[in-house]
Amino acid sequence: MDDYLVGVLSNIGIISFVALSAYVLLLAGEVSFGQQAFFAIGAYAAGMASAMLRWPLAPALCLGALIGAVAAVAVGRATLRLTGLYFSMATLAFAEMVRIAFEIFTLQVDIGGSRVGPNGPDGFGDIRYLFENEITSIQYLCAIYVLLAMVLAGFFMLERSRAGRMLRQAGTDAVLAELQGVRVVRVRLIAAAAAGALAGLGGGLYAHLLTYVEPGNFNIMLGVHSLAYGLIGGLGTAFGPVLGVLIDIGLLESSRLFAGYRMIVFGGLVAVLLIVRPRGLLDERAVHRISTYVKGLFDALAARRLDRSLRRR
Question: For other proteins, which residue of 11, 79, 217, 237 counts as binding (CB under 8 A)?
Answer: 79
Question: Is residue 50 helix, strand or coil?
Answer: helix
Question: Which secondary-structure segment (H or E) carries 247?
Answer: none
Q: Which stretch binds other proteins (CB under 8 A): 48-56, 183-191, 216-224, 294-302?
A: 216-224
Binding other proteins by CB under 8 A: which of 5, 267, 292, 304?
Answer: 267
26 binds other proteins (CB under 8 A): yes
Q: Per CB under 8 A, does 93 bind other proteins?
A: yes
What single DSSP character describes residue 294?
H
What is the smallest separation between the CB atom of 75 and other proteins, expressed in angstroms?
A: 9
The answer to whether 234 and 281 are in contact (CB under 8 A) is yes
Q: Is 274 in the site for other proteins (CB under 8 A)?
A: yes
Q: How many CB atoms sit inside 10 A of residue 202's CB?
A: 33
Does 94 interact with other proteins (rule: CB under 8 A)? yes
Q: Say which residues have a Cβ less than 8 Å from residue 103's Cβ, sequence separation at least 6.
A: 120, 121, 215
Residue 1 within binding range of other proteins, rule CB under 8 A: no
- Taking CB under 8 A as the rule, does residue 251 contact other proteins? no
Burial of 135 (0-12, 13-18, 19+ CB in 10 A): middle
Query: For other proteins, which is the closer residue by CB, 261 or 293?
Result: 261
What whole-number distance in Å separates Cα of residue 305 and Cα of residue 127?
56
CB neighbour list of residue 116: distance below 8 Å, 6 or more residues apart = 51, 52, 108, 109, 110, 126
Per DSSP, helices labelled H in 52-181 are 57-78, 84-104, 129-132, 137-159, 162-172, 174-179
Classify residue 255 by its DSSP letter.
-
Span 29-58, contacts to other proteins by CB under 8 A: 31
Smaller CB separation from other proteins, 135 or 220 = 220
Binding-site member from 112, 179, 260, 309 for other proteins (CB under 8 A): 260
81 binds other proteins (CB under 8 A): yes
- Taking CB under 8 A as the binding criterion, the range among 52-60, 130-138, 139-147, 269-277 that sits at the site for other proteins is 269-277
| DSSP type of residue 217 | G
> Taking CB under 8 A as the rule, which mask of x and - marks residues 231-250 in contact with other proteins?
xx------------------
The yes or no reply on residue 21 touching other proteins (CB under 8 A) is: no
What does the binding site for other proteins look like in residue numbers (CB under 8 A)? 26, 31, 78-79, 81-82, 85-86, 88-90, 92-94, 96-97, 100-101, 103-104, 220-221, 224, 227-228, 231-232, 260-264, 266-268, 270-271, 274-275, 278-279
